[in-house]
Structure 1
Amino acid sequence: MILKMSGFGLAVCMLFSLPTFSQTKPVKQVQYLSGTDNVRTKTWDFWATGGRKSGAWSKIEVPSHWEQQGFGSYNYGRDYVTYGKNFRFADEKGIYKHSFNVPLSWKGKAIFIVFEGSMTDTELKINGKSAGPTHKGAFYRFRYNISDKLNFGKLNQLEATVSKMSSDNSVNNAERLADYWIFGGIFRPVYLEAFPKEHIEWTAIEAKADGTFNMNVHLKNVKAGRTILAEIVDDKGKVVATGKTTTTSDSLVNVKTTLKNPKLWTAETPNRYQVNISVQNAGQNIYQTKEKFGFRTLEVRKSDGIYLNGTKIKMKGVNRHVWWPETGRAINPAIDLMDVKLIKEMNMNAVRCSHYPPDQSFLNICDSLGLYVLDELAGWQKAYSTKAGIPLVKEMVIRDVNHPSVIFWSNGNEGGHNFDLDAEYGKYDLSKRTVIHAHHKPGNAFNGIDCNHYEDFYSSKKILADTNIYMPTEFLHAQDDGGGAASLADFWDLHWNEKRGAGGFIWDLADEGILRTDQNNIIDVNGVNAPDGLVGPHREKEGSAYAIREIYSP
């Protein structure tokens, strides 16, 4: 593996891959089928249908992009612009095979296979049987219940066919026809989850600055009359509040409690609590899980500003791609930590996940160290269809809903907004975060926030004189480090002093330079398209990084 990690970095990666509970307790059990990240991979069998090393069985490391393993062909998302109307993207498929055992002790449990991210359509068979419908969409966690397809005590065969381009044109429009590198392959981990028959599927938490705690608990096969116990634990391990309820025949229950004088979560004071949740029968735990969360109240006050815990906040933000030159979008928690520390070192307080949800570990670190996060559904300049987008919104929100760092949902980028999806976020988010539209044309303010991109100083003043809060989700483009900090002091003073100024997000953090395995390992930034970071592809600091740190200093 080309990526070199320090001992500290490896320790961080191991920390984020540890199981949640001892396996002797009635908890979810996890077995990785792939590696956990781009440093700790596992070898699977692989067949590419086109491009380099195609037409024969070989081996591939998982998770990875197959281009970085020497297979297939490279494409940049704007190649259709560069090469004209007759251009066609490489449309390879990758066929993965892997054999695995399942513990005999898992017999009778509910067993799921989970993919954290796979580009782009994924069709799965277990022991020759279809696991379910083809999943369409690259950046989202999805899973199949495979309990009835497994052989216990002997080998099982996984076969996944991954299509680089989707059979749904709206998915290609949202994810692939974009100003960034596009790849193929299973680029995030794959693992099994085993649950007791009665278990909790997921939770949604609303924890406010006044100490009120409200949690929806989504149940699976839990019988009526069970007790759902929630214990809130502080950073010293002390139980500081409890709540409970009794189940009925419904699959959803709600638990409430109150904590007096909680320590609040902000980017400057990222205080977190943990809630331990148990399903009990006659006082005995039959299932338990836990969630980290933070007490905070976020308000968007129309024609005024964004308030957290009653204090107006302004974004000193940057856009971030998930990126490492040797491995593309297959990364690890040490890289996530590096980026969060780098952003905070520049005295920034916010990050926009452009243009797709990040790895889970990145959000965990934003929660822990303190960054405000715009969590974005893919849609570079065209949107998912309603049919394609509805399940992807659900997958994104269910995964990310309890992260206190996530303050807004961003429904696509620069025209990639399907208005039919705006109401979908609130179906799964108990705290009803505001949905924004990160757009690039005037007149597209949404929910009282104007996010218009790349306005100059004078047009920005004009927008700020209007009725909407102004929070540009892209400004001061840093191509070739030519604009990352240019005039930032003037823009920041403007936003700081204007009532409706909410700050903004510079484009972007790091150059998207990819190590080309087909070109003697040169680092390619696709001409002028991808060298647009404040730092280089390996996070080499450029001039803007130092200027931003000074301008944003307290």
Structure 2
Amino acid sequence: MRLKLLLLLISIPLFTTIQGFAQPTEIVYLSGTDADNTVEWDFFCTDGRNSNSWTKIAVPSNWELQGFGTYNYGHDWSNENIKLGKEHGLYKHEFEVPRSWKGKTINIVFDGSMTDTKVKINGKSAGEMHQGGFYRFKYDISKLLKYGQTNLLEVDVAKHSANESINRAERQADFWIFGGIFRPVVLEVLPEVHMSRTAIDPKADGSFNVLIDLNESKSDLSATVELFDLGGNEIGTPVQVEIEKGKQEVWVSGKFSTIKAWNPEWPTLYNMKISLKKGSDVLHEVTERIGFRTVELRKHDGFYVNGEKVLFKGVNRHSFWPETGRSLSDRNHIMDINLMKEMNMNAVRCSHYPPDKRFLDLCDSLGLFVLDEVTGWQQGYDTIVGPKLIKETILRDENHASVVIFDHGNEGGWDFRNEKTFHEYDIQKRPIIYPWLLRNGADTHHYPQFDYAIGRYIYGNDPFMPTELLHGLYDGGHGAGLEDYWRNYQTSPLHAGGFLWVFVDEAVLRTDKPETVYDGDGNHAPDGILGPHREKEASFYTIKEIWSPVQVEPVAIVKSWNGRLFLSNKYIYTNLNQCTFKWEAVKTGLSPEDEKQLGSGTIESPDAKPGETAQVEIALNNSLENADVFRFTAIGPHGEELYSWSWPVIQPADKAKELLAELNTGSSEISLKETEKSVTASVADVAIEFSKADGTLLSVKNGKGNVSFTGGPVATGVEHEVTGTEWKMNEDGSFGFEITNKNYPRKITWTLEKSGLLKLVANPLRDRVSDVDFVGISFNYPEIKCTGVKWMGSGPYRVWKNRLKGNEIGVWEKEYNNTITGESFENMVYPEFKGYHASLFWATLETTESPVTIISETPNLYFQLFKPAKPQHVAGGTYPAFPEGDISFLYEIPAIGTKFYQTDRLGPGAKKGMFSERRGDESYPITLWFDFRAK
């Protein structure tokens, strides 16, 4: 099919020019612009699905996601039981070239093609085969084109390379291996005499150096540099330099005195227009969007940007979307950057290859530091292709303000001899790091355990930042342990930050399956903070709180609180007086929508520079007197919520008293019925059967029928032995049942009130215990009968001992789901229903029978709600222990580990519990009220 070309003059990327000026670079798309806007080309796949016949394919795309070829994960090469797809994709596309282009330089540009790529124009080779799947490459096809006629483009793309170092670097890796032309293909139309390269080094003080490469220099020329803000207003005075005939490399230097420096908190950008002239005639103009900033790695100190020491709060990001693989769109890029910014991140590592150029454009404008990485998972390119691909990376990405570091491969994916290419081409002289090495003045060791290392990291002599930290397999890593690591690292002046592994679960849609299946290749790819479609896991909010650039110093808030908070400024470039702060005091109800605001306001933003702590005082005006919860929200200078903290104003016992005033009413006579093995106490519409042997609930009935809440209380987490039971009618007409135990809890007392409420008091811990995962009491309830839960406490996500932050106090509700984090890709519902929950005040189980309400009087009580299903491919410490019962009330819960570590290597917050009591301690029993009455 013959397609007319639309000439697109674009102002930012692909090749930045300003529309409407004389002699700009013209960009013509032969493909679509991105994965959301594709163009069909003719296509032939040589092997695998839908092979050996010509058809159509969307370009750009990865052909596996379009129904062709063979899916492979990067480890498949070593598994003889898995077919390693080595198919080729053959592409054809016709395009027209206007006669007016004759005499100009026409380049065909591929932004990314996996991997060995041969290009023909009208049956003739455009140049040598390009090797390397993640890089921009181009051919001058001016002499191959038919001007004013239809031209034929033919492309042969081999999924695997003829160069074994490329296969080792790119194809034998811990990520999905795709094939195809997955980034745009364009024609670059340049004037006869033009600038082939415009490399810019703009410093924070407004000074700059520009390197201009000319394609030819047959006469005297000049170059002019002008600067404009994004509103089109000219900044300063143009700088001009004369170019002598025969000179093809030109440097232009100058300074613009009124600029604002770029940083991720204030990402100020400018358009720098560079004009090549012959006399007064403009031969060629290029406009680059730039940010002025100065990057330094000061040895034995740290990374500095614009003279300020930087702490990278970052994440590793694969270019990935489940339905399109590595072929992405603006929508994907903007979503990802906004999610990173929402987590209060300021940096991203592009693992393990250069990203789409559009992603870097957006990092420039939205504000993220970028570590731009040359591919090499754990094997590096040879000295033949390596220098070429490093050069291509630099020439494409050199003018991006966001790119502050270049990574030379990953975890062994380098040849040190190739490093000189970075220094040869990068005029900004950015730091070159080696992820997982101590080299070039930076220590980037991956996955350090908490107390790493002798003579390195916090015990070392060099700036350190793990470029992969806390491997987030399933629900482990990421937020779990981050607070311990971050606090520990910040004790060292050499701490330069860290990059969590990884941003999303890389589960790809398998178009080779008859049903919808998202495949994470076992436990190789489900490592994300987010699900494959960017579903937010609990760690998302934990990171958001821990990395908030405003931190609230620890404070206990009670009704008599004086309203004073201490705010620490963890920004790099922003004063707290540029932020805003608001607060509210609320009274909770029995549902989230029943909440009532009792007081609210804003406070005057304090004057606190980065690194300073300031006190603020809130005029509460008695608003806490009847409140349950106090909330405080920090809002950044651009209107973004940094975090909203909450504190309970009341104790669980106070809330229980308030609720019981309404619930513990009514008075009916209690009747007893005994059998050989049980005693049943009945009142109103409730009949509760207790085991004579151990006091556990044998059955519960109300006016609607059975309530299947049974089998407890059973002590869990410690050894125990029932030594006696006793029951009686109390003087006030209530029924009492007492259980004594050899160990914890030494005594448990049931009391059935005449209202029908059932009270349980389990004595606190008295004996020394250590190395416990959990300790408390458990009950049983059939999971199949539970439809939802509503509760007051910390929520809405489940917690682990080493991941308590990110949840807030309030009233929450969620429907039953069986989500397995990092695995339930076909039905991924968050927050997960099952697991541990913190700071219980009360909870109502919604069931197919009748609701069961439990009210706690015990502070800091954990509430276990069933057991999450075990993932199929558990590794390390990613599936912690759970009590035997279905519903548990606990003093202690376990931490969660990572893919590589059990919890004993992840810091103090992950250690197992221990307790000892001294005689006279006034500890807290587990005191619960159960309402089994029909509603």
TM-score when normalising by structure 2? 0.56
- For 1:549, the equivalent position in structure 2 comes to 544
What SS does structure 2 have at the residue aligned with 1:72?
Answer: coil
Any conservation in 2 of the 1:215–1:256 contact (CA below 8 Å)? yes
What SS does structure 2 have at the residue aligned with 1:257?
Answer: strand
- Residue type at the aligned position of 2:134: F
Per-residue CA deviation, residues 493-524 of structure 1 (Å, 9 max, x unaligned), is 22333111111000000110111100133111
**Cα shift at 1:384:** 0.3
Note if 1:290 corresponds to 2:287.
yes
Note if 1:511 corresponds to 2:508.
no
- For 1:528, the equivalent position in structure 2 comes to 523
Per-residue CA deviation, residues 68-99 of structure 1 (Å, 9 max, x unaligned), is 11111100001234x25x76621100110111
- Residue type at the aligned position of 2:331: A
Find the aligned partners of 1:491 and 1:163 in 2 and give their Cα distance: 44
- For 1:309, the equivalent position in structure 2 comes to 306
- Residue type at the aligned position of 2:496: A
- For 2:241, the equivalent position in structure 1 comes to 245
Find the aligned partners of 2:369 and 2:191 in 1 and give their Cα distance: 36
Find the aligned partners of 1:494 and 1:307 in 2 and give their Cα distance: 21
Note if 1:467 corresponds to 2:464.
no
Which deviates more from structure 2 when the two are superposed, residues 428-437 or residues 456-465? 456-465
Counterpart pick for 2:378 among 376, 381, 384: 381
Find the aligned partners of 1:187 and 1:35 in 2 and give their Cα distance: 10
What SS does structure 2 have at the residue aligned with 1:374?
Answer: strand
- Residue type at the aligned position of 1:268: E
**Cα shift at 1:262:** 2.2
What are the equivalent positions in structure 2 for 1:316-331 lying under 5 Å apart? Answer: 316-331=313-328
- For 1:491, the equivalent position in structure 2 comes to 485
Gaps of 5+ in 1: 1-12
Note if 1:124 corresponds to 2:119.
yes
Per-residue CA deviation, residues 123-145 of structure 1 (Å, 9 max, x unaligned), is 01110101000000000000000
- For 1:178, the equivalent position in structure 2 comes to 173
More helix by share: 1
What are the equivalent positions in structure 2 for 1:49-60 lying under 5 Å apart? Answer: 49-60=46-57
Counterpart pick for 1:366 among 363, 367, 375: 363
Find the aligned partners of 1:43 and 1:276 in 2 and give their Cα distance: 35
Any conservation in 2 of the 1:76–1:182 contact (CA below 8 Å)? yes
- For 2:476, the equivalent position in structure 1 comes to 482
- For 1:501, the equivalent position in structure 2 comes to 495
- Residue type at the aligned position of 1:258: K
- Residue type at the aligned position of 1:407: V
**Cα shift at 1:433:** 0.5
**Cα shift at 1:422:** 1.0
Find the aligned partners of 2:183 and 2:328 in 1 and give their Cα distance: 8
For the structure 1 residues 16 and 392, does the alpha-carbon distance in structure 2 shift closer, same or farther, using more than 3 Å as the test? closer
- Residue type at the aligned position of 2:422: Y
- For 1:456, the equivalent position in structure 2 comes to 449
Note if 1:339 corresponds to 2:336.
yes
What SS does structure 1 have at the residue aligned with 2:379?
Answer: coil
Note if 1:64 corresponds to 2:61.
yes
Per-residue CA deviation, residues 410-454 of structure 1 (Å, 9 max, x unaligned), is 000000021011111121111100100002xxxx31111011100
Find the aligned partners of 1:132 and 1:17 in 2 and give their Cα distance: 22
Counterpart pick for 1:30 among 27, 30, 46: 27
Q: How many residues align?
A: 536
**Cα shift at 1:481:** 2.7
**Cα shift at 1:251:** 1.2
**Cα shift at 1:460:** 5.0
Any conservation in 1 of the 2:222–2:277 contact (CA below 8 Å)? yes
Find the aligned partners of 1:473 and 1:368 in 2 and give their Cα distance: 24
Find the aligned partners of 1:485 and 1:460 in 2 and give their Cα distance: 22
What SS does structure 1 have at the residue aligned with 2:292?
Answer: coil
Sequence identity, in percent? 48
Counterpart pick for 1:196 among 174, 177, 191: 191
Aligned alpha-carbon RMSD (Å): 1.7
What are the equivalent positions in structure 2 for 1:399-414 lying under 5 Å apart? Answer: 399-414=396-411
Any conservation in 1 of the 2:70–2:84 contact (CA below 8 Å)? no
Find the aligned partners of 1:481 and 1:359 in 2 and give their Cα distance: 29
**Cα shift at 1:283:** 1.4
For the structure 1 residues 16 and 247, does the alpha-carbon distance in structure 2 shift closer, same or farther, using more than 3 Å as the test? closer
- Residue type at the aligned position of 2:375: A
Find the aligned partners of 2:453 and 2:540 in 1 and give their Cα distance: 23
Find the aligned partners of 1:119 and 1:157 in 2 and give their Cα distance: 21
Greater Cα radius of gyration, structure 1 or 2: 2
Note if 1:233 corresponds to 2:258.
no
For the structure 1 residues 273 and 18, does the alpha-carbon distance in structure 2 shift closer, same or farther, using more than 3 Å as the test? closer
What are the equivalent positions in structure 2 for 1:70-219 lying under 5 Å apart? Answer: 70-81=67-78, 83-84=79-80, 89-219=84-214
**Cα shift at 1:31:** 1.3
What SS does structure 2 have at the residue aligned with 1:201?
Answer: strand
- For 2:422, the equivalent position in structure 1 comes to 425
Any conservation in 2 of the 1:314–1:496 contact (CA below 8 Å)? no
Find the aligned partners of 1:553 and 1:461 in 2 and give their Cα distance: 30
**Cα shift at 1:17:** 7.3
**Cα shift at 1:225:** 1.3
Find the aligned partners of 1:103 and 1:284 in 2 and give their Cα distance: 24
Find the aligned partners of 1:427 and 1:479 in 2 and give their Cα distance: 39
Find the aligned partners of 1:362 and 1:239 in 2 and give their Cα distance: 27
Which deviates more from structure 2 when the two are superposed, residues 496-505 or residues 394-403? 496-505
Find the aligned partners of 2:12 and 2:307 in 1 and give their Cα distance: 35
Any conservation in 1 of the 2:13–2:361 contact (CA below 8 Å)? no
**Cα shift at 1:14:** 12
**Cα shift at 1:15:** 8.8
Find the aligned partners of 1:34 and 1:309 in 2 and give their Cα distance: 39
**Cα shift at 1:103:** 1.2
**Hey, which bits of structure 1, 4+ residues long, moved more than 6 A?**
13-19
What SS does structure 1 have at the residue aligned with 2:97?
Answer: coil
- For 2:263, the equivalent position in structure 1 comes to 266
Which deviates more from structure 2 when the two are superposed, residues 306-315 or residues 161-170? 306-315
Q: Greater RCO between the two (CA within 8 Å, min separation 6)? A: 1
- Residue type at the aligned position of 2:439: F
Any conservation in 2 of the 1:223–1:247 contact (CA below 8 Å)? no
Counterpart pick for 2:395 among 382, 395, 398: 398
For the structure 1 residues 372 and 245, does the alpha-carbon distance in structure 2 shift closer, same or farther, using more than 3 Å as the test? same
What SS does structure 1 have at the residue aligned with 2:293?
Answer: coil
For the structure 1 residues 411 and 251, does the alpha-carbon distance in structure 2 shift closer, same or farther, using more than 3 Å as the test? same
What are the equivalent positions in structure 2 for 1:42-53 lying under 5 Å apart? Answer: 42-53=39-50
Gaps of 5+ in 2: 1-9, 550-935
- Residue type at the aligned position of 1:359: D
Per-residue CA deviation, residues 214-272 of structure 1 (Å, 9 max, x unaligned), is 11111112433111000011233222232111112121101111111420111111111
What SS does structure 2 have at the residue aligned with 1:427?
Answer: helix
For the structure 1 residues 338 and 222, does the alpha-carbon distance in structure 2 shift closer, same or farther, using more than 3 Å as the test? farther
Any conservation in 1 of the 2:72–2:177 contact (CA below 8 Å)? yes
Find the aligned partners of 1:540 and 1:216 in 2 and give their Cα distance: 44
Find the aligned partners of 2:247 and 2:388 in 1 and give their Cα distance: 22
Any conservation in 1 of the 2:31–2:38 contact (CA below 8 Å)? yes
More strand by share: 2
